[in-house]
Amino acid sequence: MQTVKAIIFDLGGVLLDIDFRLTEKAFAHLGVSNFTSLFNQFHSNALFKKLETGVDEELFYDEFRTETGLSLTDEQIRDAWNALLLDFRLESLAVLPVLRSKYQLYLLSNTNEIHLQEFQRRYALLGKDENFDALFDAAYYSHRIGERKPNASAFEYVLNKHRLDPATTLFIDDSINNIEAAAALGIQTVHLLPGMKVEELGL
């Protein structure tokens, strides 16, 4: 690995455990039998892409009801959608202050306002003095910047915002699609496979 000056982290599957099967199961219980064709780790349909790039939460609920043909409440959709969110990886979070003493740290996550509210709520329950975003020099969420991975524009948003050199920037993500997109821009990458942990990378 070349010299690294900045690290860009993904969130789900890197610092926060997630399980897409739990959301699939929750929606199936509500009568949505084809959820994986709408959203999974490697694919999002137009509705979920809009959700991850800033569509209004209430509009998402309405369009989800229209697309599925089901009379679900906002709360039913929200809870099933949040089911994939599990626990923060506390050992991985604990190493971030150490890494921040050596590197610039950034977060770039494909997410949405529904998930953001939920994982920030869970982080607050850990009793930390700072909020989650304060672990990084800056945190970027797709629905707030209007850009999502693996689009090159999402990575370029962070690179340009902080004048980062791709050659000295490391990107850590659990999705091969995102890893390949970052590598195509000259960014160094670590594909965090199942069982791998940030704190074990020797950074």
Catalytic option among 10, 19, 87, 133: 10
Helices (H) and strands (E) in the chain, counts: 10, 9
Pairing, β 85-88 against β 16-18: antiparallel
Active site residue 10: yes
Where do the H-state alpha helices sit in the chain? 20-29, 35-38, 46-52, 57-68, 74-82, 90-100, 113-124, 142-145, 152-161, 176-184
Radius of gyration of the chain, Cα coordinates, nearest whole angstrom: 17
Residues 6 or more apart in contact with residue 58 via CB below 8 angstroms:
74
Beta bridge partners of 172: 9, 190
Quick one: CA dihedral 79, 80, 81, 82, positive or negative? positive
CA distance 113 to 96: 24
The distance in angstroms from the start CA to the end CA of the chain is 10
Please identify every residue annotated as catalytic. 10
